């Protein structure tokens, strides 16, 4: 299913890109017709030639106006499609199955399947203490206009851990946390400390999502333009 979404996304990008090119050509043709009409009127006024008739001029003017208007509308549509694609972009980074345990020295049995560029890696097992499981990492958020031109949010998934509902339990009960992908490395530490030096970077921050364990539910973990999110998988074929 991920491959299908990737193909649809590529097709969507090609469509919006081609629409923008076609609209630019139409606008250029409209302006060229208008320019030629203007030149004809100037030369006719100077008496160099008779020029074309008034009806022909009106017809060419209307045609050029139609071209410019139509091309502008198509260009606006292409920009809207590009904005929609840019700001709704999400990347699948993993699939999680989490089950509540009983009578064991941990509360949640979690299986995490990393996904990179649509390809599933070997699953990993984590034993977690807490009422909920959580996954998160480091986020590099660019300025909105950078997202608009196709540069997407940078990220590194770094941790899976447990979470208690009550703050009191957070303070007194045992925690479990696992670094994944090497945790937050030196590059990300540098980005955290120096994010203001980069003109196109809006913020660098940590972000996580969490949910209750369930024996029947699987979750897809995504990174969107603002950070991590999860979606419950309803289609068993995608698990």
- The whole-number average pLDDT for the span 68-84 is 80
172 vs 238, which has greater pLDDT? 172
Residue whose entry in the numeric block shows the structure tokens 């009409």: 37
pTM over 0.75: no
Q: Which helix (H) or strand (E) holds 157?
A: strand 154-163
Both structure tokens of 82: 């590009």
Mean pLDDT (the chain) is: 84
The confidence band for 167, taking pLDDT boundaries of 50, 70 and 90, is very high
Q: Identify the residue whose tokens are 């840019």.
A: 86
List the single range of 45-59, 119-133, 139-153, 212-226 with lowest mean pLDDT.
45-59
3-state secondary structure of 93: strand
pLDDT tens profile 23-69: 888 888 888 888 888 877 777 666 655 556 677 778 888 888 888 88
The H or E element that residue 128 is part of is strand 124-128
The pLDDT assigned to 59 comes to: 84
CA atoms 86, 157, 232, 227: torsion sign: negative
DSSP secondary structure, 173-216, as one string:
S---EEE-TTSS-HHHHHHHHHGGG-TTEEEEEEEEEEE---SS
Q: Which residue has tokens 């950070």? A: 227
- Cβ of 100: how many Cβ atoms within 10 Å? 12
Instruction: Enumerate the domain spans of the chain.
Output: 2-87, 91-238
């Amino acid at each position: 299913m991920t491959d299908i979404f990737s193909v649809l996304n590529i097709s969507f990008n090609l469509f919006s890109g081609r629409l923008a090119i076609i609209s630019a050509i139409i606008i250029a043709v409209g302006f060229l017709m208008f320019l030629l009409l203007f030149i004809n009127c100037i030369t006719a006024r100077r008496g160099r030639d008779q020029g074309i008739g008034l009806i022909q001029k009106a017809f060419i003017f209307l045609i050029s106006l139609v071209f410019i208007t139509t091309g502008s509308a198509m260009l606006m549509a292409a920009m809207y499609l590009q904005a929609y694609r840019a700001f709704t972009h999400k990347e699948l980074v993993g699939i999680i199955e989490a089950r509540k345990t009983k009578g064991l020295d941990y509360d949640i049995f979690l299986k995490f399947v990393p996904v990179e560029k649509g390809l599933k890696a070997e699953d990993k097992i984590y034993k977690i203490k807490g009422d909920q499981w959580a996954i998160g990492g480091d986020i590099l958020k660019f300025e909105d206009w950078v997202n608009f031109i196709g540069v997407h949010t940078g990220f590194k998934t770094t941790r899976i851990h447990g979470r208690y509902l009550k703050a009191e339990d957070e303070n007194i009960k045992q925690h479990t946390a696992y670094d994944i992908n090497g945790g937050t490395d030196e590059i990300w530490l540098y980005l955290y400390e120096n994010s203001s030096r980069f003109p196109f970077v809006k913020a660098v921050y940590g972000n996580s999502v969490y949910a209750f364990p369930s024996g029947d539910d699987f979750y897809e973990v995504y990174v969107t333009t603002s950070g991590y999110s999860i979606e419950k998988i309803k289609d068993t074929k995608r698990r």
